[in-house]
Amino acid sequence: MTLASITGLVAASRPKIFTLLEQATEKITISPYVTHVFVRGSLASGRADRMSDLDFVAGVADEHFRDFHEALDTFMTTEFNAILPGWRDTIVNTMGGIGYVYLVENDGKLHQLDFYLVPASRADDVPAHTTRACLLYAKEYDPGCDATLRLEIGRYIAQTGQRPRTSGDLLVELLVLLQMVYKRVRRGQQFSAYGEWVMARETVRDLVRTSLVPTSPNWGWYRLEEELAVTPIGRACGRSLHALLLLQPPTSGADLDAILERCLHIAEMAAPATVAEMADAVASYRAYLDLS
């Protein structure tokens, strides 16, 4: 066997995430206003495996940041086969921008693609916040001195981060978190699995609270039982939510399937229109994760 043929075998066996990385970089950098592209996480530190997600950071010229952000879901759906809108990432480090998590189909498999968008004027700060590899650095980009624009974008980013989550946002968050928990379990990352499993159940709670007691002055678990106890639907949701809290994280596809079913049942009681609206996406999610 020659070295060339070994190289060929290595290339044929490389994790598909690298193909997705190439495609993503190529597509994103079509825009002349994308000034920086970093890849983060396991891909940047050489720890990538076949279940790794793709962590992307794109710097976008300040004057186009808002348009880019508003077009991101359409871009990800159209170009990357995202099966759900982006989940506004609440786990990622703060790096001066806004992060989203997408579940995208590539070559018949579902991948997690984390897309962090940062104004170009802040992109040089990204390396200080994360392990990263730089794929594009537009030296010719002049961040400009328009302090007003920078302030405006800063406010826009802050407002986006504070925007209340809708039941649709929360259902997307739940689906993203559940597949993350399952991935952690399969990798043997029990602590991370535990953390995300706690988050997934809090997301179900928030979905119930947002849908059934939207005007409540309380948040989290505080007084939720009392607030739900006012109606039969609320009491049924409360009982199902309590039962969910007693479950361990999924360790098999069958477990994940059963947990997803329970979560969707609660979501359907709390926000039936939202679940109906996402029925096709949930069906595809199940198919890609090989659930029934």
- Residue placing its CB nearer to other proteins in the complex, 241 or 289: 289
| Residue 112 per-residue DSSP state | E
Distance CA 263, CA 249 (A): 13
Report, in Å, the least distance between residue 77 CB and other proteins. Answer: 8
Q: Which is nearer to other proteins, 178 or 228 (CB)?
A: 178
CA distance 172 to 258: 18
Residue 281 CB, shortest distance to other proteins, in Å, is: 6
Residue 81 C-beta: closest distance to other proteins, Å: 4
Cα(84)–Cα(165) distance, integer angstroms: 15
How many other C-beta atoms lie within 10 A of the C-beta of residue 291?
17
Nearer CB in complex with other proteins: 116/285: 285
Long-range contacts of 68-71 (CB under 8 A, 24+ apart): 68/31, 68/33, 68/117, 69/98, 69/117, 69/156, 69/160
User: Which one, 68 or 182, has the nearer CB to other proteins?
Assistant: 68
| Distance in Å, CB of 239 to other proteins, minimum | 30
Binding site for other proteins (CB under 8 A): 30-33, 64, 67-68, 70-71, 74-75, 77-79, 81, 83, 105, 108, 279-281, 283-284, 287-288
Distance, CA of 251 to CA of 254 (rounded, Å):
8
Nearer to other proteins, 175 or 213 (CB): 175
**Nearest approach, Cβ of 117 to other proteins (angstroms)?**
12
